[in-house]
């Protein structure tokens, strides 16, 4: 009886339309197991739900329920289905649906949504405007098409294997992909979970060395890409064809047959076909099935769908010297209140070329040279902003380039509010397009690379936690390699202390073959980390966060 009581407390029972409507009044997140009366709720996930309830400890904003589809009108489309369905209701709005008892995916979805709720309650972020999904049961193919084939887009998931990443082939492959007109929507270097590898490569499961292959892929960093193919799925190519006798002039004796360029339409190669033609398919594997792509995106890039639906963008913004010096704090408050997240920011004195770029709208004005001189001799403030439709929203918030026009038609714009009088210009700059924003952000905030070394006494679990903290701090792990750090190599890393009395002890620890997890293989990892903070900032961050030594 006690066990039964705990299950009732874990999941509330919804078996009528009235109870369903009451459930929608719950504050926070409710995870609903939709079941059929003849088969009952899904028992396979109850242990996961109990674990989440205990670990997250958020009884006020996390609820679990079971809903009998046969008794609830809203769920009639789920009747007579044997596959489990899990719905996610956030403050009364169904924002997500997972078909099948996919425990890792359910775990990630719950964790991410609760983390968002915590940040919202703490005032660290604005509540996203989720799109409510229709409660209509679809096949995997229909589901994939409805989510990923809108607006003519085709999505692929590509995995560049660890050996290729180690040889930096991923850089070459990405260049080839973009050169052909494919768009890399998002990318990340990551350790792939074993369940993802087994699923992605299930077509190889009957091979005798499959277990070794899984171990190989999961033990190193893979480069994972979401790639889109927009527009026409056919391309126009120019081919040389023999001219017909009726079209050609009378040939001379020495010219022979004549060929003329003819434009023909052909079906565009798929990403897999293109990679095969480029002789790099052995390093990169592609999944193009819509339903599988959807599943992998949910598992590896859980925020991607929301970002696509809401058109989350980054843009570059710049405050000219006068408003930066006098009104910086007021402007930053407005930026945050308008729903922007400030990703990066810094003071900058522009070069003449940079100043010409941000003041190009005024190059025909008589005061242009004075403006250039002013911009190049005083500090401006540059930011990277994140928001829905960030590029257009920031341009609208800035207002017209002409001050008189701003006063007449956009009195609430930043241009009108913060006009200083020195130059009759808009004191703000923003990227003109999404493509320009990408170029400008990479120019003004170029990634830096540093080297990190994880010492051998760290266990496997601690190492994974360290790598997680590295990524959460905004770094990308571009390369990772395990090595036995011999004294010759150690002296290159620790050159500042080679003359110290304790250096010999340091060498003994670093070159030891013994590890905290009891294995005798080397556990040292040298990891290249391109990211925006400097290595000194990075070191300070980990002195505070990592007690295991790094």
Write down the pLDDT at residue 535. 31
* pLDDT greater at residue 10 or residue 352: 352
Other CB atoms within 10 Å distance of the CB of residue 139: 10
Angstrom distance (rounded) from CA 287 to CA 533: 34
The DSSP element (H or E) to which 63 belongs, if any, is: strand 62-68
Instruction: State the pLDDT confidence band at 238, using cuts at 50, 70 and 90.
Output: low
- Mind listing the pLDDT tens digit for each residue in 319-350? 999 999 999 999 999 999 998 999 999 999 99
Angstrom distance (rounded) from CA 174 to CA 180: 10
Residue 340 lies in a domain: yes
pLDDT over threshold 70, residue 368? yes
**Bridge partners, 35 (sequence order):** 68
* Residue showing tokens 């002789």: 279
**Are both 362 and 302 inside the same structural domain?**
no
Query: What is the value of pTM for the model shown?
Result: 0.52
CATH number where 85 lies:
3.40.30.10
- Mind listing the pLDDT tens digit for each residue in 420-465? 878 889 999 999 988 889 889 989 998 788 888 887 778 878 888 8
> What is the bridge-based pairing of β-strands 479-483 and 524-531?
antiparallel
Residue 339 lies in a domain: yes
Write down the pLDDT at residue 269. 74
Residue 238 lies in a domain: no
Residue 251 lies in a domain: no
Average pLDDT score over the chain: 79
**Are both 301 and 319 inside the same structural domain?**
no
The residue among 199, 187, 193, 197 whose CA lies nearest residue 223 is 187
- Mind listing the pLDDT tens digit for each residue in 412-422? 889 999 988 78
Helix (H, G, I), strand (E, B) or coil at 220: coil
Write down the pLDDT at residue 146. 41
**Are both 335 and 412 inside the same structural domain?**
yes
DSSP string, 10-58: HEEEE-SHHHHHHHTT-SSEEEEEEE-TTT-S-GGGHHHHHHHHHHH--
Q: Phi first, then psi: what are they for 353, rounded to 5°?
A: -65, -45
Residue 241 lies in a domain: no
- Mind listing the pLDDT tens digit for each residue in 123-172? 888 887 777 777 754 444 444 444 444 444 678 999 999 999 988 899 99
**Are both 288 and 364 inside the same structural domain?**
no
Residue 101 lies in a domain: yes
Domain end position, chosen among 254, 287, 307: 307
CATH number where 197 lies:
3.30.70.141
Lowest mean pLDDT among 37-46, 121-130, 267-276: 37-46
Domain span including residue 35: 12-122
CA angle 410, 411, 414 (to 5 degrees): 85
Write down the pLDDT at residue 267. 59
pLDDT over threshold 70, residue 404? yes
- Mind listing the pLDDT tens digit for each residue in 205-236? 999 999 999 999 998 889 999 998 755 444 44
Residue 7 lies in a domain: no
Contact (CB, 8 A) for 270 and 142:
no
When pLDDT is averaged across residues 363-373 and rounded to a whole number, the result is: 91
**Are both 334 and 274 inside the same structural domain?**
no
Residue 161 lies in a domain: yes
**Are both 165 and 49 inside the same structural domain?**
no
Lowest mean pLDDT among 3-7, 134-138, 406-410: 3-7
Instruction: State the pLDDT confidence band at 527, using cuts at 50, 70 and 90.
Output: very low
The DSSP element (H or E) to which 416 belongs, if any, is: helix 414-417
- The pLDDT > 70 percentage for the chain reads 80
The residue among 315, 309, 312 whose CA lies nearest residue 395 is 315
When pLDDT is averaged across residues 352-371 and rounded to a whole number, the result is: 91
Q: Phi first, then psi: what are they for 94, rounded to 5°?
A: -75, 110
**Are both 101 and 200 inside the same structural domain?**
no
When pLDDT is averaged across residues 13-39 and rounded to a whole number, the result is: 89
**Are both 192 and 80 inside the same structural domain?**
no
Helix boundaries (H) for 428-495 = 434-444, 460-472, 487-493
Write down the pLDDT at residue 231. 52
DSSP 8-state assignment for residue 279: T
pLDDT over threshold 50, residue 258? yes
Contacts of 149 (CB under 8 A, 6+ apart): 290
**Are both 193 and 220 inside the same structural domain?**
yes
Write down the pLDDT at residue 224. 94
When pLDDT is averaged across residues 2-19 and rounded to a whole number, the result is: 70
When pLDDT is averaged across residues 87-112 and rounded to a whole number, the result is: 87
CA of residue 360 relative to chain centroid, distance = 33
pLDDT over threshold 90, residue 378? yes
**Are both 27 and 167 inside the same structural domain?**
no
Write down the pLDDT at residue 243. 54
**Are both 40 and 93 inside the same structural domain?**
yes
Q: What is the number of domains present in the chain?
A: 4
When pLDDT is averaged across residues 307-320 and rounded to a whole number, the result is: 86
**Are both 160 and 301 inside the same structural domain?**
yes
Q: Phi first, then psi: what are they for 544, rounded to 5°?
A: -85, -30
* Residue showing tokens 């309830």: 53
Write down the pLDDT at residue 128. 79
């Amino acid at each position: 009886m006690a066990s039964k009581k705990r299950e009732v407390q874990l999941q509330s029972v919804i078996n009528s339309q009235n109870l369903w409507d009451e459930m929608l009044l719950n504050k926070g997140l409710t995870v609903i197991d939709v079941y059929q009366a003849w088969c009952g709720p899904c028992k396979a996930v109850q242990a996961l739900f109990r674990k989440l309830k205990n670990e997250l400890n958020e009884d006020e904003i996390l609820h679990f329920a079971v809903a009998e589809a046969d008794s609830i009108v809203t769920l009639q489309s789920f009747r007579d289905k044997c596959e489990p369905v899990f719905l996610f209701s956030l403050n009364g709005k169904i924002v997500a649906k997972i078909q099948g008892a996919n425990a890792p995916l359910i775990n990630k979805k719950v964790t991410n949504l609760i983390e968002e709720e915590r940040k919202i309650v703490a005032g660290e972020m604005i509540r996203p405007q989720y799109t409510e999904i229709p409660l209509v049961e679809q096949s995997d193919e229909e589901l994939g098409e409805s989510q990923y084939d809108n607006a003519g887009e085709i999505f692929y998931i590509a995995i560049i294997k660890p050996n290729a990443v180690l040889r930096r082939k991923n850089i070459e492959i990405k260049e080839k992909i973009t050169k052909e007109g494919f768009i890399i929507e998002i990318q990340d270097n990551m350790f792939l979970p074993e369940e993802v590898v087994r699923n992605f490569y299930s077509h190889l499961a009957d091979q005798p060395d499959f277990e070794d292959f899984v171990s190989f892929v999961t033990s190193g960093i893979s480069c994972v890409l979401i790639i889109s193919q927009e527009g026409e799925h056919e391309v126009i190519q120019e081919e040389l064809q023999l001219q017909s006798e009726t079209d050609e002039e009378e040939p001379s004796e020495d010219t022979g047959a004549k060929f003329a360029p003819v434009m023909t339409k052909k079906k565009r190669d798929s990403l897999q076909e293109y990679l095969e033609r480029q002789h790099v398919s052995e390093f990169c594997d592609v999944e193009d099935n819509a339903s599988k792509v959807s599943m992998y995106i949910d598992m590896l890039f859980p925020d991607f769908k929301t970002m696509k639906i809401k058109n989350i963008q980054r843009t570059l913004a710049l405050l000219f010297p006068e408003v930066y010096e006098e009104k910086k704090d007021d402007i930053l408050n407005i930026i945050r209140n308008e729903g922007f997240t400030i990703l990066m920011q810094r003071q900058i004195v522009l070069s003449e070329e940079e100043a010409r770029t941000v003041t190009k709208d005024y190059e025909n004005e008589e005061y242009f040279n004075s403006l250039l001189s002013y911009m190049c001799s005083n500090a401006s403030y540059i930011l990277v902003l994140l928001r829905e439709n960030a590029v257009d929203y920031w341009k609208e918030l800035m207002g017209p380039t002409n001050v008189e026009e701003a006063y007449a038609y956009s009195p609430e714009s930043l241009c009108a509010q913060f006009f200083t009088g020195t130059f009759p210009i808009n004191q703000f700059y923003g990227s003109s397009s999404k493509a320009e924003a990408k170029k400008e952000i990479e120019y003004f905030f170029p990634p830096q690379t540093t080297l990190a070394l994880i010492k051998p006494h760290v266990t496997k679990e601690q190492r994974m936690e360290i790598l997680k903290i590295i990524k959460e701090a905004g770094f990308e792990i571009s390369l990772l390699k395990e090595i036995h750090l011999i004294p010759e190599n150690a002296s290159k890393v620790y050159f500042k202390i080679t003359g110290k009395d304790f250096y010999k002890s340091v060498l003994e620890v670093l070159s030891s073959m013994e590890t905290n997890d009891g294995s005798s293989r080397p556990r040292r990892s040298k990891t290249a980390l391109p990211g925006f903070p400097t290595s000194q900032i990075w070191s300070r961050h980990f002195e505070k966060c990592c007690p295991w030594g790094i």
